[in-house]
Every structure is written in C-alpha cells, then in structure tokens.
Amino acid sequence: MEPIKKIKIGGIEVAVWKNTSKEGNDFFTTTMERNYKVGEDWKKTNSLRDNDLPKAILALQKAFEFVFIKE
C-alpha cells in the first residue's frame, strides 16, 4: 500500500495514508521519518535533530492542509 501523499522537505519526509474504519468511514494517518546518508547508504530514522524541527513543522503543516482540503 502506498501513501496518498508524500511531503519532503530536506531530509524530512511525511507520508499521508488513507484508511477506512470498520464502519466504512475514511480517516487519515501520517508517518514521519528523517533520511540521512552514511557513506553511500541511505538510512531512515524517526529521531529528529534540533535543526530538523522547523522542516518537520513545515512538512506536518502541509500534511494537515492536504488532509483538511480532502475532508
């Protein structure tokens, strides 16, 4: 399953997922991760550094706007 929206700002990526409840109602969830490189390999983590916080805030704001418009 793929997210319905990905928002990337620097190394921060927020994904928006569409879900359906048992009652048939749609709702959205989000995941967030930071991508970074070690040598030639790309890694992912949920841990943020202090300079990642403004990027995370902006990415989450954009995710909120996307979900708000969808509803």
pLDDT digits (tens, 9 = 90+) for 36-60: 999 999 999 999 999 999 999 999 9
Residue 66, pLDDT > 80, answer yes
Q: How confident is the model over 13-35, as pLDDT tens digits?
A: 999 999 999 999 999 999 999 99
Distances in Å between the alpha carbon of 24 and those of 1, 4, 15, 27, 53? 18, 18, 22, 10, 35
* pTM (whole model) above 0.75: yes
pLDDT interval class at 71 (50, 70, 90): low
Which of helix, strand or coil describes residue 65? helix
Scored b (16 or more CB within 10 A) or e, 24-56 reads: eeeebebebbbeeeeeeeeeeeeeeeeebeebb
